[in-house]
Structure 1
Amino acid sequence: MLSFLQNSAYEIIATSIYIINFLIILNLIFREKRSIETIVAWTAVLTTLPAVGIVMYILVGRGVRKDNMFKIKEQEDKIIKKNIAETKARLKCSSMLDENLRDNIDMIDALTNSNNAHYTNNNSVDIFDKSRDFFDSLLYELKNAKNYINIQFYIFKDDVIGSEIIDILCEKAKSGVEVRLIYDAVGSRLLSEKTLLKLKKSGVKTGAFFPSLMKIVNFNLNYRNHRKIVVIDGNIAYVGGNNIGDEYLGKDPKFGEWRDTHLKLTGDCIVDLNTRFILDWRYTTQENLDLSKYFTKSQGSNIYYNKSSNNVGIQIVSSGPDITELDEIKYGYIKMIQKARKYIYIQTPYLILDRTLIDSLKIACLSGVDVRIMIPSKPDHPFVYWASCSYAGELLKFGAKIYTYGDNAFLHAKTIVIDDAVCSIGTANMDIRSFELNFEVNAFIYSKEVSIKQRNIFEKDITNSKQMTIDMYNSRPKLIIIKEAVSRLLSPLL
């Protein structure tokens, strides 16, 4: 009798699991309307590993409500509409067309229409290809803040460099500077409660994006805020690949040298980065800010922004799962690939491509465009690494040049530059997760001078890289072939 009851219980549990899995698949198809690749990958996991599949889906696969997730409040809406009105007026007024606008009007228009990305042309750009230079600049500007600091990072640790920044934030808050810090609850899970209490006692306002339950369980492992934004007094802004942690200074022996790229910006584009931060802040904390402090220049005050003497055109483009059926940064990447006539240089730690991107790169190769892609020489996430190698190998067959950066180093830069004309630098990797699941932000820069600088950085990095050849790829061991095949199957979930 006991055996019969045990068998019956097992059958009930097994049947329930399969029914739940079937309902999950129906939900993916009809309600969430995921991509075909994602649906196929989840179907494979749920059918081959039924019980494990349910747990994986609950932790990393569930959709998030997208309807008005980052609903623009009335004040932000007025600012964005004003910016877009200025952009459209500039685009239509031929007498105001600068060289950058004239040559890239199609791309600027596409990003304006898909992302409300405001185009500004009185900006200056500094590129940091060494993390130490970025941190030195950031520390200096933070120490000199007079009015406010808006700071946001995916990973924020209270190690040596993190503690140094935290101390500055606390000192500034005590002196009357308004300091707001957004950190991602999963990415910054090592940020201690003691440190958070110290920040709050000093007057620093903090917000955890999609917070975890007791820092242990988080049912939104997907949909993380991967943005890295710093705006200081409306005069200086930073955006790029670095997070706050000692490993970004090459102090983690697991990674060795950390190769990343970050931007320092001045000019009108700061308004757009500040708007992005404030939208995230208001969603995260529900604080009702007086935006006149951040977007209105009072007489005799420099709180708004400093005009730049450089004529660098910039669009700040953000993307995330809050906007249905739009992958704005991916669209920008695709448009750059389609525009290229001479070369496309890409740096990314993860190369996981959907059909549109991989076909666009193949067509560029077949058209005679010099396509070069640089990825790390070592993994930080094994499945992601092997999937990246699989896509790199596919592009090799079409003539793309693939480089792996360094021996004892990790490449974390997210850059693309074409034809000494346009470049994009920011937080978005060349992978499905960045395009569809994470909240990201990139600067699309229309400048010959800046693009040449980024090309020179890429070419310098080649000297510290190894080129992957088609013969090398075809002679890889059977075990690696299996790893790549399995990882590629799962790539929409990585």
Structure 2
Amino acid sequence: MLYLGLILVYTTALVCILQVLQHYRTAQSAIGWIIALLTLPYLALPLYLVFGRNRFEGYARARRKDDRKLDNLAFQLDQLIAPHRPLYQQPDSSKEVFETLARLPFTEHNRCTLLVNGNATIESMFNSILNAERYILTEFYIVRDDELGLQFKTLLMKKARSGVIVFFLYDDVGCAGLSSEYLRDLQEAGILVHPFGTLRSYLKRLQLNFRNHRKIVVTDGETGYVGGINIGDEYLDRTTRYAPWRDTHLKIEGPAVMGLQLSFLEDWHWATGYIPELPKPNLAPKYDEDQKALILATGPADELNYCELFFLQCINQAKSRLWIATPYFVPDIQIMSALQLASLRGVDVRILIPRKPDHKFIYYATYSYLAQADTAGIKIYRYEKGFMHQKVLLVDDTHGVVGTANLDNRSMKLNFEVSAIVHDKSFVAELTQVLVRDFSASNTLPASQYELRSLPFKLLCRAARLLAPIL
């Protein structure tokens, strides 16, 4: 019996090794998995089956199965936003790359409003939900059954009972603590509720690694929200562990909202198997502002690593300034090399990270990059006033980005993410002021902060970095 067990374990390990050789994206991760599967198969097999896969095949298959439906949805969206495509006086290769990655065009006639921290975001978001007349789309990685979560539930139930169509899509890993009573109350009020993938389905497909990290709210197809803020008391400083919580969200009004709506509908289609029919939104220009914006949705079902390609494009095109705010700085070799090269060619490269971590392994892994950053002239700043969770990027004076993607392997290759790219000088100027205030509340983190530490600390940092592919 023991002999048969050994044969089964090593045969399964061999099958996994063959899968690694067929689908690996980095040589480092492939070598690590192969060595582990050969030497410690009892330990490595369950870890690989849960964390080792790097492509969300189920989502991709669902897209292929209903290509006609999704193509028709994309065509309808294209017809809606066609009158809002900007006419550029001369070709702009950087915008063309962004549009290729997003599979959507930039649109004009948008108004993009920066929302700094939780109170401003929740107030604006709740007001938009309250004023919705036809439909509300909500999608979050985390929804908590706490004070803010109950306020959110009450508001959605009120709108559903008034006749507004309400959708509630949530990630079952991020919302693992959400009670069944909470979900039942939403459903009994007439809200369409569904997890992006139940824990059972994740385990059935052995795809626990793939999480829907998006935070999207769309009301009537005319107003949308995207950024770093979920639904939980910590985002309003109602809990003391991470307070004050520093975050950034974005309110979009105009045709670019259709990009958020398309992302939501594709996710809903994966989760439920159908695409809901929604009323046609009114996208007629109605604002004094005329900002150009584009929504970029990325994930492990993409044919290419669109999220990483997006970051690489931003880094490579920067001429004078590249400012990135991220709570998790665990770049792979391609991103780190691009950052170093940008700094060496004279770009002001700044990375803003939190002093107070919410994930210890990531905190230690980040320290292992200090020497590489310092040698190339990259400035790493540590935000001192609480926990910084924003995901913001600023390139030169041309465009700013607010979204859900972090500068780590999970966002680049494993999570479903969404970002808004805004090409507008006034928006960039406002975002610059926000980041300048954040940098003034931060201290630089030179290489000496790592090099002068104890050997056990350094070993811990290096060991944590080895786990970067799954952090």
1:191/1:214 CA distance change after superposition, 3 Å: farther
1:379/1:46 CA distance change after superposition, 3 Å: farther
Give the TM-score normalised by the residue count of structure 1. Answer: 0.88
**CA contact 2:382–2:442 (8 Å) conserved in 1:** yes
1:36 to 27, 37, 40: 27
How much does 1:398 deviate?
0.8
* Partner of residue 5, structure 1: none
The CA distance in 2 between the partners of 1:465 and 1:279, in whole Å, is: 39
2:410 to 414, 425, 433: 433
**CA contact 2:140–2:169 (8 Å) conserved in 1:** yes
Deviates more, 1:54-63 or 1:460-469: 54-63
* Partner of residue 198, structure 2: 211
How much does 1:393 deviate?
3.5
* Partner of residue 430, structure 2: 453
* Partner of residue 56, structure 1: 47
Deviations 1:423-460 (A, max 9, x none): 11101111111111111110111111111211211110
Q: Which secondary structure state, in structure 2, belongs to the residue aligned with residue 420 of structure 1?
A: coil
Asked which structure has the greater CA Rg, the reply is 1
Deviations 1:5-57 (A, max 9, x none): xxx72x55445434432321221112x33322321332344345432211212
Deviations 1:447-482 (A, max 9, x none): 111112112111101122121122223212212211
Identity of aligned residues (%): 31
For the pair 1:164 / 2:143, whether they are aligned, the reply is: no
For the pair 1:320 / 2:299, whether they are aligned, the reply is: yes
The CA distance in 2 between the partners of 1:16 and 1:480, in whole Å, is: 40
Amino acid at match of 2:43: V
Q: Return 5+ residue gaps in structure 2 as ranges.
A: none
* Partner of residue 178, structure 1: 165
The CA distance in 2 between the partners of 1:122 and 1:320, in whole Å, is: 28
Q: Which secondary structure state, in structure 2, belongs to the residue aligned with residue 365 of structure 1?
A: helix
1:442/1:33 CA distance change after superposition, 3 Å: same
How much does 1:308 deviate?
3.3
Deviates more, 1:354-363 or 1:201-210: 354-363
1:209/1:460 CA distance change after superposition, 3 Å: same
Q: Which secondary structure state, in structure 1, belongs to the residue aligned with residue 173 of structure 2?
A: coil
How many residues were matched structurally? 468
The CA distance in 2 between the partners of 1:214 and 1:372, in whole Å, is: 40
1:290 to 266, 270, 277: 277
Q: How does 1:274-285 map to 2 (within 5 A)?
A: 274-285=261-272
1:461/1:81 CA distance change after superposition, 3 Å: same
1:475 to 435, 452, 471: 452
Q: How does 1:238-249 map to 2 (within 5 A)?
A: 238-249=225-236
Q: How does 1:80-479 map to 2 (within 5 A)?
A: 80-81=74-75, 96-97=87-88, 102=90, 105-213=92-200, 219-291=206-278, 293=279, 296-297=280-281, 302=282, 307-324=286-303, 326-406=304-384, 409-479=386-456
**CA contact 1:121–1:313 (8 Å) conserved in 2:** yes
For the pair 1:484 / 2:471, whether they are aligned, the reply is: no
Amino acid at match of 1:22: L
Amino acid at match of 1:78: N
The CA distance in 2 between the partners of 1:214 and 1:115, in whole Å, is: 28
CA RMSD of aligned residues (A): 2.5
**CA contact 2:202–2:208 (8 Å) conserved in 1:** no
Q: Which secondary structure state, in structure 1, belongs to the residue aligned with residue 163 of structure 2?
A: coil
The CA distance in 2 between the partners of 1:74 and 1:20, in whole Å, is: 37
Q: Which secondary structure state, in structure 2, belongs to the residue aligned with residue 118 of structure 1?
A: coil
Deviates more, 1:157-166 or 1:448-457: 448-457
1:22/1:218 CA distance change after superposition, 3 Å: closer
* Partner of residue 74, structure 1: 68
**CA contact 2:210–2:414 (8 Å) conserved in 1:** yes
**CA contact 2:84–2:108 (8 Å) conserved in 1:** no
**CA contact 2:117–2:235 (8 Å) conserved in 1:** no
**CA contact 1:83–1:118 (8 Å) conserved in 2:** no
1:27 to 15, 19, 40: 19
How much does 1:259 deviate?
1.1
The CA distance in 1 between the partners of 2:202 and 2:240, in whole Å, is: 26
Q: Return 5+ residue gaps in structure 1 as ranges.
A: 1-7
Deviates more, 1:386-395 or 1:446-455: 386-395
Q: Which secondary structure state, in structure 1, belongs to the residue aligned with residue 430 of structure 2?
A: helix
**CA contact 1:111–1:332 (8 Å) conserved in 2:** yes
